[in-house]
Chains A and B, each alone.
Chain A
Amino acid sequence: NAGVMQNPRHLVRRRGQEARLRCSPMKGHSHVYWYRQLPEEGLKFMVYLQKENIIDESGMPKERFSAEFPKEGPSILRIQQVVRGDSAAYFCASSPIGGTGYNEQFFGPGTRLTVL
């Protein structure tokens, strides 16, 4: 059973461009989470999605950032008009269940975004 897959692993964008980060959850997992790790900082929750629905987006910046998890295909984290401060590692995690305090989240290897 393949783990959580993220692509690209490294992404370079110039200021003002758009960044699209993709996450394929583990097989059978319908719950996806995105986290961001700024340089020399801790991991911060961004958004939690369950197939076609955003459940919790309390950690998402209000502007330029959006996420989706369509019925078919990977989850996408989209950053419009990137700025240098968006440079970070973005991690996706998946889980077979949600709404509990005990389910394990399986993380992908991350996408390292560099904004020039």
Chain B
Amino acid sequence: DAKTTQPNSMESNEEEPVHLPCNHSTISGTDYIHWYRQLPSQGPEYVIHGLTSNVNNRMASLAIAEDRKSSTLILHRATLRDAAVYYCIPRNNTDKLIFGTGTRLQVFP
């Protein structure tokens, strides 16, 4: 399983963009990169995933480095509801999600 490194915490102001980095230098060529988040007292929630190309959905954008050893989750305009722990999870044809310690994002009004 690929190891990940994420900042323990980050802060943002409302309405500002947030870039959440993840280092996964041991990722294999067929690992998808998933991002989940966990809001306080709730279950995890899928955010986005990608393989090689950058991806966009209604929640966020995922920028994947050309060598795939790192990726960045981009929240274009943070809201108070985006305050959560964000997990970057490389995944290769396995059904289990292996959660690291994630990044705790605080959003200030």
Contacts and interface: CB of A to CB of B under 8 A. Distances in A.
Interface residues of A, number: 29
B32 A102 contact: yes
B45 interface: yes
Interface string A43-61: 1110010000001101100
A106 B102 contact: no
A59 B44 CA distance: 18
Given A42-B102, A44-B99, A45-B98, A101 B43 contact: no
Contacts of B30: 101
Contacts, number: 62
Contacts of B38: 43
Interface residues of B, number: 23
Contacts of A101: 30-32, 91-94
A48 B96 contact: yes
B97 interface: yes
Given A42-B102, A43-B99, A59-B96, A109 B42 contact: yes
* B contact patch SS: loop
B65 to A, nearest CB: 18
Given A101-B31, A102-B32, A110-B43, A45 B96 contact: yes
Given A42-B102, A101-B31, A107 B43 contact: yes
Contact of B95 (A42, A44, A56): A56
B96 A56 contact: yes
Contacts of B99: 35, 42-44
A91 B95 contact: no
Interface in A29-78: 31, 33, 35, 42-45, 48, 55-56, 58-59
Contact of B45 (A33, A45, A107): A107
Given A42-B99, A100-B93, 8 more contacts: A4-B43, A33-B97, A45-B96, A45-B97, A95-B95, A101-B30, A102-B49, A108-B43
